[in-house]
Structure 1
């Protein structure tokens, strides 16, 4: 422990139980030194910026609050929602697209001041993330009008209530016609045409019912391709963001329509790149987008490198959220809803530096994934019973989730286990630090991205940054790391994964100076827990294999282990079979890490990634680390 005699005196007087900071003690706050010694520095845990808009909020936002909202039923988590063979009008992709377009146009009408009633797509699974977001609407004074099907909302007449016009069908100019069975791309085209022509999406399957209800066709998408839509509508849509989604899906269409965004599919048939792709079109769209514009969604059946890499090179960050819902309303008025929720952190002044162990930390991958945060991240991984013992490091999309779903973001921060570490992943979304913006003004694009990320991290006391690079050891990667370090003098360290393999950096540590002259470590993953079935790779594999490799290494004092979020393993006890854990397992996340820990000897100790960073700093840079810690009492 590093402290002066005077500091020791004040600490002895004011020591109380720590509430927000792991491994430390909390002192009466704010500024116990007022009137005593104005030159004393502040508490380490008070190194945090106040909540404020410092230019970090870059995602599209619905800013006008509805007074009420209709809850549109029979959509989400209905297994048939993206099927094309359903005959019931309330089933299948045809109905899903209708509801998505209904919600997008109704919420846009609220934004435009033409209506006071929005639309929420009902979550049949009852996921807590969406329940929290609905409660947030209530907290804003927005009440649920009732539950109706999309068919009823599109075709029924509703009288006013308390002076609020509840009827939706008068808000639309007609319908956009699709034939999703015979032309999968017609659903993509219709998603754009619905926004341009202010028409709900209706399929040929159900057309007669809307003709009978008095609707007129405003656009015929039945035989149109995505390329046709681009040529026709590129001058009538916004270039501030882009939605990439597969054909034969309805997800994110409400968001695209609400914000007048173009929608593009990479594969012309669902999950089938062999049937043709729109890659040249995608390239053209990337160059048309506003510099730094975010890209939402995902594509199926294509190596992510194909589309994420091109987006990164052209200076765009990917926001993976293809299976998420109600984004216009989960993100409603997000700027004014920001709360000073703070991550729990390790106070380095209370680390036992004399401990003689080989230290290991685990970092769960894929924390940039918004849909995961909204689906089973909390229940399936974050609240895993092994999190405390394994002192897990969790990547979370701090700078995106606090805009896209503030209620869920606050919940995740607020329910953090005190022994875990929260890490911003992966620098404002998914991009590669070594090639981001290479075909644009890379220096400017990197600086803007890093500044946005820094503001979000500093305001929520997130001290570690997770980045990914194509080559984590390259000079271009160093330039990328440096940009994020330059932007954030509260950043304690960077953990870096390579695409691919994640452990391509083999545990190497790089040092780069921040604006105050302190050297900040960039720690690459030494190994990765990853289920490859019948084999292991050089630095990727089962818990037993990675434990064996780590034990046999000579330079293994500090090891960051990446835990592949989607790999599951089986507990085989002390068996020496190095691939046996891959078969029929159900242990992932912290439980997979625990399997590896059980294979390690007593010379190893598991600590969280933030403590690992501080131990690395004290071990390799003791003088400057002590100098830095002396700036706090």
Structure 2
């Protein structure tokens, strides 16, 4: 087999890292006396075909480990800086022994565990997600024709998606169908592959990034890459796929912004279009592009139980209250990257009370990462608190769900929040039925409070708030008055003070993508020094709000 120069280069980098002391094998700490072996490989300098092959190997190995094969090594891939840092955190908490691998050596090690391989067509990139869906069910590797020739693969060719004739179940058996394009290809996959997939999850993702690809094989998911905005045929095909699934499927992924071709479209508008479409179909989105190594993360349980001590609030008459909630930590992509490498290491984090939105499903997909956030929280004065968003269990407009599916979604939300020890949530919802929708949340869950952050609510006065009551508890609800993005500290302070003239409770929704934390922290300092404001966490804020409204 040929070994490219880039692999030699990677080996030299590995030696340098060893000299820096970054990659030492961990001391064996578990009771059985055996360490967990991990093969790791960098994808940075691999072409797209090589990257996808590695991700298929990663999903395959990690799935077999989850199924009980404890002899196999786990596979971990490096794409960006955060991947290295997460790996170091794992090594600090688990007895890992690691070994650098090349594609050639990984293929050699995979020989006994893969039943064959499939080919996908780089000239028709939409065939990649179908190839991954197929490979998940048939225990196969993902290859381009060039790689198959170059690596001299000895495994059996199960399916060739580069041709216009597709066979099922394999290339040498079953029925054949002529495939003329993308819509026909997905119709083929829908008819033949959906029944063998995990029926609770659908992956919607871009073709040209490796993130989440390992999770398709790890969980045997149905993967699609369709355009929800600009092509009627593909919208209809997506609806067909959704209708084939049971109610309340989880769509894992992100709307593909490369389709944002209409004037004014961007990532957010494409995303909202997808979420709206899903909500109207009683489905929901778990935002998760750029969530690398998801199969690897899913193999680790938290070292200890997730817990946070809620600090109760007591309303003081005449005081004004401000609560700062940092988003978008609710997105898995944010959890895996931006929060880890930017927000979590800010020098002033922890000096001021902040609420952080996290995906409540994070403990399901990546238990260790959820544990890491809780155990790195600032303990002094209980400054960090974690709440769920957006909309609870997943990204959806709850008011768009029919009653049966709304109740089912509330149950999922309540269970996820219990697992993540969360009491408050952020929701994005502006369908005109919020009062009845969130009364049901109060009646069917123990949620303490809901923060509304939908921009469409901007025309409501800051005093628009409610307390939903049940026989057992009260649930606060408030429409936020101020959004923190790129304002200066003085501007943000003035906005909050103006809002507080009409209403003594101001929730400040911090749009974390803008990285305006210096101004946010300076604003908090300004408010605290004024003497008229209490800056509190979300739990205290809700306690005080409920007490205020029930005076």
3-state SS of paired residue (2:513)? coil
Q: Which runs of 5+ in 2 are unaligned?
A: 1-33, 164-180, 261-269
8 Å CA contact 1:529, 1:543 repeated in 2:
no
Match of 2:3 in 1: none
Distance 1:115 1:275, change over 3 A: farther
Match of 1:536 in 2: none
Equivalent of 1:219, from 150, 159, 165? Answer: 159
Match of 1:148 in 2: 101
Deviations 1:115-141 (A, max 9, x none): 731432233635433433455663xxx
3-state SS of paired residue (1:342)? coil
Indicate the structure with greater helix content.
2
2:46 is aligned with 1:74: no
Distance 1:275 1:459, change over 3 A: closer
Deviations 1:275-307 (A, max 9, x none): 898322221222222222211111331511111
Match of 1:204 in 2: 145
Distance 1:505 1:137, change over 3 A: farther
3-state SS of paired residue (1:462)? coil
Match of 1:356 in 2: 318
2:508 is aligned with 1:561: yes
Equivalent of 1:551, from 490, 497, 501? Answer: 497
8 Å CA contact 2:312, 2:543 repeated in 1:
no
Distance 1:602 1:253, change over 3 A: same
Q: Following TM superposition, by how much is the alpha carbon of 1:469 offset from its aligned partner in structure 2, in angstroms?
A: 0.6
Equivalent of 1:120, from 66, 75, 79? Answer: 75
Match of 1:325 in 2: 292
Answer 1 or 2: higher relative contact order, Cα 8 Å, separation at least 6.
1
Match of 2:389 in 1: 425
Q: Following TM superposition, by how much is the alpha carbon of 1:209 offset from its aligned partner in structure 2, in angstroms?
A: 2.4
8 Å CA contact 2:443, 2:470 repeated in 1:
yes
2:308 is aligned with 1:343: yes
8 Å CA contact 2:312, 2:539 repeated in 1:
no
2:470 is aligned with 1:514: yes
Cα root mean square deviation, aligned: 3.0
2:540 is aligned with 1:621: no
Distance 1:274 1:341, change over 3 A: closer
Deviations 1:217-261 (A, max 9, x none): 211112563524334423333322111111212221211112221
Instruction: Give the Cα separation in 1 of the matches to 2:304 and 2:525.
Output: 40
Aligned length: 477
Match of 1:48 in 2: none
Distance 1:404 1:117, change over 3 A: same
3-state SS of paired residue (2:399)? coil
2:325 is aligned with 1:372: no
Distance 1:610 1:506, change over 3 A: farther
Deviations 1:98-129 (A, max 9, x none): 01111222233344557731432233635433
Deviates more, 1:595-604 or 1:244-253: 595-604
Distance 1:407 1:362, change over 3 A: same
Instruction: Give the Cα separation in 2 of the matches to 1:449 and 1:275.
Output: 30
TM-score under structure 2 normalisation? 0.78
3-state SS of paired residue (2:346)? coil
8 Å CA contact 2:363, 2:420 repeated in 1:
no
Match of 1:4 in 2: none
Deviations 1:124-171 (A, max 9, x none): 635433433455663xxxx546321233211x2xxxxxxxxxx42122
Equivalent of 2:519, from 569, 574, 592? Answer: 592
Q: Following TM superposition, by how much is the alpha carbon of 1:453 offset from its aligned partner in structure 2, in angstroms?
A: 2.8
Match of 2:53 in 1: 98
Match of 1:171 in 2: 113
8 Å CA contact 2:450, 2:477 repeated in 1:
yes
Instruction: Give the Cα separation in 1 of the matches to 2:132 and 2:410.
Output: 33
Distance 1:549 1:488, change over 3 A: same
Match of 2:368 in 1: 407
Match of 1:585 in 2: none
Matches within 5 A, 1:248-397: 248-267=208-227, 278-301=234-257, 302=260, 303-332=270-299, 334=301, 337=302, 339-348=304-313, 351=314, 353-354=315-316, 356-397=318-359
